[in-house]
Amino acid sequence: MTSLPKKEIKLEDLLNEMKHIDSDGKRFVTKAFNFAQKAHEGQFRQSGDPYFSHVFETARILAEIKMGPNVIASGLLHDVLEDTDTDPEEIRKEFGEDVLFLIQGVTKLGKLKYRGLKRHTESLRKFFIATSKDVRVLIIRLADRLHNMETLEYLPREKQIRKSTEVLEIFAPLAYRLGMRFIHKKLEDTAFSYIQPEEYEKTKQLLRQRKKADMKFLEKFDRSLKKALAKEGMTKFSTSFRIKGLYSLYKKLKRKEDGVEKIHDITALRIVTNSVADCYKVLGIIHSIWKPLPGRLKDYIALPKPNGYQSIHTTIFTGDGGIIEIQIRTQEMHNTAEMGIASHISYKERKVSGEILSQIIWFKNILSRSTGQNTDIDRRKTQRDSTPDWIKNLGEESEVKKDGQQLIEDLKKDFFGHRVFVFTPSGDVIDLPFEASPIDFAYAIHSYIGNHLTGAKINGKLASLDTRLKNGDIVEIVTKKTAGPTRKWLDLVKTSEAKRNIRAKLKLDQ
Ligand code: MN
């Protein structure tokens, strides 16, 4: 083994990422820094680095996504209960109840080891239940995992594969669901490099070539665009280039048979404006000068994606042989797109009503969109059916002022409460809307399974088809060749996928 000079750990580097935090908060984090450094003294990572470097980098990621002092401090302290002889009482005394709660949450999750199928299932179940208590625990856990992935090269191959599989199956989808693109992309790409090293290299090559070719068009277009916008009096905006993640490109290439030259969103020009009105104005100016590709205009501002993502996408011909995807959004939408739920968790742990309001709006948006991939009509209906009254009444000033903090707590619970995570007997997680039935589950696995369902076992016991699935249920579907859906099933299902399949099958058989 060669001994490279180890990277120095400097408190300064962490504090530099904390421009959003006041001096009290910085003092608090400094105290946690000193405490953790001392507690982990003499411990080392596989890489040969001091163990403290891991918790330091975890905290740095949390600072980078603009978390508050309690969360950053918890990042520094997240392994002291597990790996040192620190007493929880000491943490409570020195850092308070909230930090202790966060560290204990992270520690609990960390204890779960993914060995073998049974345990795997069990851990996943606990994982979701534990995270539903406070989303900050999950964010710390994601930062922890991100740093572990970045230092995975020092672990044995078998462990690399296991950790990377977990990331692709659990952590990355969760980061995506929480809208944390920044972490999602890094997690996915690192895991991809370990699981399919050859495909990873191939995709990387492909991306490099495309980037080189696209850049010429992008830079030229960027200049023309700035001129065109200035001519219309638009000066308050910024542009940047964005490049697709490797794993997401790989998946897209596998889905499409067209080949890489037909994929137009490998690179894109991003325009960040000051207001929603300006987004549409910019779009109008662009379309009046450059011809858009038919069918490529997507208005995710008016119709956001289920994870809250907002932006206008369009693809245009540059006129000199190039085709460019353009994404237009406001600064706020941009923050949400990169950081997701993290951008809505106040960094000051004491919240002012404006922040509370924005959190409520965010959760409300997520809630109303997390009912699955329904059509708009379906969605409106499901929303009406399953949304409690107090949520529908939200956003009214008086309510917010009354007990904003409590409302957010309730909303957090509800955000997770609106989805159920259930498992196949082999441990795969199936994510379904609240009150979904075994029939939804069967169709979520495969339409064939749904169409030939004759019974279901929940946690090993036979259950009727109108049973409402609960978080952590293990569901086994019994099929028979001659079995088939009935009209009554339509009343028992929540997902549009199940409905569509049932209707199709019923018509077919009549
Ligand atoms: Mn850790």
Q: How confident is the model at residue 151 (pLDDT cuts 50, 70, 90)?
A: very high
Distance CA 345, CA 180 (A): 12
Contact, 94 vs 31, CB < 8 A? Answer: yes
Residue 265's alpha-carbon distances to 64, 296, 338, 355, 414, in angstroms, are: 27, 10, 17, 34, 35
Q: Considering the chain, what percentage of its residues have pLDDT values greater than 70?
A: 76
Q: What's the pLDDT at 384?
A: 34
* Bigger pLDDT: 322 vs 364: 322
Cα of 276 from ligand 1 centre, angstroms = 40
The token duo for 15 is 């504090």
Distance 44 CA to ligand 1 centre (A): 13
User: What per-residue confidence (pLDDT) applies to 261?
Assistant: 73
Q: How confident is the model at residue 508 (pLDDT cuts 50, 70, 90)?
A: low
CA of 160 to the centre of ligand 1 (A): 16
Which H or E run contains 298? strand 298-299
Confidence of residue 39 (pLDDT cuts 50, 70, 90): very high
Contact in structure between 307 and 177 (CB atoms under 8 Å): yes
How many angstroms does the Cα of residue 54 sit away from the middle of ligand 1? 7
Lowest mean pLDDT among 20-34, 220-234, 282-296, 368-382: 368-382
Which DSSP string do the residues of 225-273 spell out, in sequence order?
Answer: HHHHHHHTT--SEEEEEEE--HHHHHHHHHH-SS-GGG---SEEEEEEE
- Alpha carbon distance 225, 223 (integer Å): 5
d(CA 45, ligand 1 centre) in Å? 11
User: How close is the Cα of 245 to the center of ligand 1, in Å?
Assistant: 25
Half-sphere exposure of 366 (CA within 13 A, CB side): 25
pLDDT at 124: 55
For residue 301, CA distances in Å to 93, 225, 329, 470 come to 46, 21, 8, 33
DSSP state letter for 4: P
359 or 37, higher pLDDT: 37
Q: Which CATH number fits the domain 418-506, given the four candidates 3.40.1390.30, 2.60.40.10, 3.10.20.30, 2.40.128.20?
A: 3.10.20.30
Half-sphere exposure of 249 (CA within 13 A, CB side): 26
Model pLDDT, residue 88: 95
Q: Which pLDDT score is estimated for 420?
A: 75
Whether this prediction's pTM lies above 0.75 is answered by: no
Active-site annotation holder among 41, 82, 261, 403: 82
Which residue intervals of the chain bear CATH 3.30.460.10?
Answer: 198-339
Catalytic, out of 13, 17, 64, 83: 83
Specify whether the backbone of 42 is left (phi greater than 0), alpha (psi in -120 to 50) or beta.
Answer: left
Separation of 395 CA from ligand 1 center, angstroms? 38
Cα 72 to middle of ligand 1, angstroms: 13
Question: d(Cα 273, Cα 9) in Å, to the nearest integer?
Answer: 38
Compute, in angstroms, the gap from residue 424 CA to the centroid of ligand 1: 29
Q: Is 509 a catalytic residue?
A: no
Residue 64 phi, psi dihedral angles, 5° rounding:
-60, -35
Instruction: Kindly report, as residue ranges, where domains of CATH 1.10.3210.10 are found in the chain.
Output: 11-195
Kind and range of the H or E run holding 305: none
Distance 146 CA to ligand 1 centre (A): 10
pLDDT in tens, 434-463: 789 999 999 988 999 999 999 999 988 999
User: Of 144-153, 244-253, 373-382, where does mean pLDDT reach its minimum?
Assistant: 373-382
Q: What is the whole-number distance in angstroms between the Cα of residue 27 and the centre of ligand 1?
A: 23
Asked if 21 and 68 touch (Cβ cutoff 8 Å), the reply is yes
What residue has token string 């007990």? 403
Q: How far is ligand 1, taken at its centre, from the CA of residue 186, in Å? A: 17
Looking at the chain, the whole-number percentage of residues with pLDDT higher than 90 is 47
Contact by Cβ (8 Å): 244, 303: no
Q: Return the CATH number of the domain spanning residue range 198-339.
A: 3.30.460.10
Residue 472 has pLDDT above 90, yes or no: no
Q: Which CATH architecture has domain 11-195?
A: Orthogonal Bundle (1.10)
| Per-residue pLDDT at 316 | 93
Whether 169 sits among the annotated catalytic residues: the reply is no
* CA distances to 43, 269, 298, 317 from 229, in Å: 57, 15, 21, 17
Please choose, from the candidates 128, 147, 165, the residue with its C-alpha nearest in 3D space to the C-alpha of residue 65: 147
Please state the rounded mean pLDDT for residues 339-366: 52
Q: How much distance in Å is there from the Cα of 357 to the middle of ligand 1?
A: 33
Q: Residue 53 C-alpha to ligand 1 middle, in angstroms?
A: 10
- Picking from 266-270, 416-420, 424-428, 499-503, which range would have the lowest pLDDT averaged per residue? 416-420
C-alpha 234 – ligand 1 centre gap (Å): 47
Q: What is the DSSP string of 471-508?
A: TT-BEEEEE-TT----TTHHHH---HHHHHHHHHHHHH
Q: Which residues surround ligand 1, an ion (CB under 5 A)?
A: 79, 144
Structure tokens given for 467 = 């049973």
Residues 6+ apart with CB under 8 A from 343: 65, 66, 335, 336
Indicate the average pLDDT of the chain: 80
pLDDT tens-digit map of 109-135: 655 444 333 444 444 544 554 454 567
Q: Is 420 helix (H, G, I), strand (E, B) or coil?
A: strand
